[in-house]
Amino acid sequence: DCGAISDFYRENAHHIVDTPEEAAAKAVKAGTDLNCGDTYYPHLIEAVNKGLITEEEIDTSVKRLLLARMKLGMFDPEKEVKYAQIPLDVVDCEKHRLLALESARKSMVLLKNENDVLPFSKDVKKIAVIGPNADNDEILLGNYNGYPSVRITPLKGIREKLPDAEVKYAQGCRLAEGLPYLEVIPADCFYTDETRKTKGLTAEYFDNAKLEGTPKHTRIDDRIDFEWWTAAPFADMPYERFSVRWKGVLVPPASGGYALGGEAFSGFKLTLDGKIVASGKSGHHTKKGYERVTLEKGKPYTIEVEYIQNDTEYPHVRILWEVPGKNLKQEAVDLAKASDVVVLCMGLSPSLEGEEMNIAIDGFYKGDRTDIKLPPVQTELMQEIVKLGKPTVLVLLNGSALAVNWENENIPAILEAWYPGQAGGTAVADVIFGDYNPSGRLPVTFYKGVDQLPPFEDYDMKGKTYRYFEGDPLYEFGYGLSYTTFKYNFERIPSSVEAGENIPLTVTVTNTGDKDGDEVVQLYVSLPDSKLKKPIRSLQGFKRIHLKAGETRTVEFVLQPHQFAARNEENIPLVEAGKVLISVGGKQPDEKSIASGAVVQTSVEVNGERFYIND
């Protein structure tokens, strides 16, 4: 990771060594061949001179790096490299768009479906789509992402699903108090000068990335909301490097406190009445910035915006604001009252959680989370809407676990959609309107609150993850519902094995419901008799299968000794005599799931002397 090795010696970071030479030597010896940063050069040379590492050890890393480049064909003529023959139109092709949709569908996790409120009927006439994540492109892609040409939000997905229905949207609230919900400034607010005779902004387009020389083109743009992709604004300008300057006046529609800013890739600078309000520049990803300003309704403010494209794959720029004075909650409640069903799109966003971010509000600090509950402003909105008694589903869009305790108790249906990618909105609509039977399972534990977790600085695994957490979570690892039901039976499993032998097993899975669907068959192992170090249980196998209504399929697993080993005081894995408790089903085992046949469980006796695993 960029800068990670310098963290070894920086005093405000991990600081496990005192010098960059020590850090460089330690990293290479640990197998880190490549450094994204400046620690290896020149400090590895100094590390050799100081005897901290040998040239032979460095040669090992160099050989691995060169071998990887050779395998990629980086030293061969382009015509001989198979990767170089892949045409650009493969990127974002229809086949890959369908793959994005499949991935989004399979990742959806149905957390609650009280009284089978889902799927909604596609005959519904009026649908309210409410929430700050309902029509927000940002929550589709997460962090460190590519840039698809087509992005389908939940709102767009539902409108495409039901073209004859009345699908209306209300933002309802901010994502979190203190975080503005920024939107593109509309064309009605821009004029070329203070006379306000001509709408828009005067734009100067330069054929370099430094706004230098005479503009190649000059025109009037109605607003600043551009995605150029792989084409420059004009055919006679280079795509890789160009720049734009816009000038004019901004006339606000209301008086009060605004959040004013923008986002761009590679960079932008926004000036208002001669003062820099916001700026950002990066060669890695989109930069967004804003500032709080007080503006008067109808007053013209001189605005200037500079944009630079410096060899990025997704040149774009938008100038954004949040307008004061809106009663977002009442707008959403009124919309819900007039609708037949309500789709709530809540959660988090890459503006709240990420890496080294400039944010410090309740629940969030520099990209980290100081709480795991939903921001209160979202729950407060939902509390008002639930009072209406309309059929309601909560769609969560987030990149990390959430403590949605009130929501779990009061909202009849909850769908975890994560940051679902470019086709996320289509997948959400497919699930909630019954064109796709959800089958995703939670890859993390959803706790009820931070009080269930040890301190963040405690690196011991006790009390963390499904493997060592002894409490009652909100939703456990591996959990997820379906629109159908499944029943399991053991078909074949030995009653005993000798230490060092595999444990082969076969189960039958039957779709006992009336809908076709996928099932994620999960195999968990526990060691109830062992006194050695071991987890409560551990997932040791899973398979996704598709079953038509009424169909039965056979699923086989083979447990190898390392999969049911414990560890001694020297942390050496070993198999010892005693019981191995094996559970197979669509979730972790509990009394209810075992009684219903949704999980089957049995013990296999291991006999003989201890068998040590050779790691």
Count Cβ atoms within 10 A of the Cβ of residue 85 and give its class: 0-12 exposed, 13-18 middle, 19 or more buried: exposed
* Closest by CA position to 190, among listed 233, 225, 215, 214: 225
Q: What is d(CA 129, CA 155) in angstroms, rounded to the nearest whole number?
A: 6
Describe the chain by its helix, strand, coil percentages, rounded to 5.
20, 30, 45
Question: What counts of helices (H) and strands (E) characterise the chain?
Answer: 12, 32
Cβ atoms within 10 Å of 312's Cβ, excluding its own = 21
The answer to whether residue 353 is catalytic is yes
**Residue 347 Ramachandran class (φ > 0 left, ψ -120 to 50 alpha, else beta):** left
Q: What is d(CA 314, CA 226) in angstroms, rounded to the nearest whole number?
A: 11
* Closest by CA position to 415, among listed 97, 98, 150, 104: 104
Determine the 3-state secondary structure of 222 from DSSP.
Answer: coil
Outline where DSSP puts E strands in 273-391: 275-281, 287-295, 301-310, 316-322, 341-347, 360-361, 364-365, 368-369
**Packing angle, helices 424-432 and 154-161, rounded to 10:** 50
Catalytic residue among 1, 194, 296, 551: 1
Residue 189 CA to its chain's centroid (Å): 34
Count Cβ atoms within 10 A of the Cβ of residue 565 and give its class: 0-12 exposed, 13-18 middle, 19 or more buried: buried
Q: Using omega within 30 degrees of 0 as the cis cutoff, is the peptide bond preceding 266 cis? A: yes
Q: Which amino acid is at 59?
A: D
The residues pairing with 84 across neighbouring beta strands, listed in sequence order, are none
**Residue 387 Ramachandran class (φ > 0 left, ψ -120 to 50 alpha, else beta):** alpha
Q: Using omega within 30 degrees of 0 as the cis cutoff, is the peptide bond preceding 589 cis? A: no
Q: What is d(CA 19, CA 534) in angstroms, rounded to the nearest whole number?
A: 38
Catalytic residue among 207, 353, 407, 519: 353
* Closest by CA position to 476, among listed 154, 105, 219, 111: 111
Instruction: Name the one residue in this structure whose structure tokens are 């006439």.
Output: 125
* Closest by CA position to 245, among listed 195, 305, 292, 161: 305
The answer to whether residue 1 is catalytic is yes
- Six-digit token string for 287: 């930069």
Q: Quick one: DSSP state of residue 120?
A: P
Name every residue whose Cβ is closer than 8 Å to that of residue 455 and which is 6 or more positions away in sequence. none
The residues pairing with 248 across neighbouring beta strands, listed in sequence order, are 303
Q: What is d(CA 279, CA 266) in angstroms, rounded to the nearest whole number?
A: 11
**What is the 3-state secondary structure of 164-233?**
CCEEEEECCCCCECCECCCEECCHHHEECCCCCCCECEEEEEECCCCCCCCCCEEEEECCCEEECCCCCC
Name every residue whose Cβ is closer than 8 Å to that of residue 245 and which is 6 or more positions away in sequence. 203, 204, 206, 211, 215, 304, 305, 306, 307
Q: What is d(CA 359, CA 368) in angstroms, rounded to the nearest whole number?
A: 9
Residues with catalytic function? 1, 353
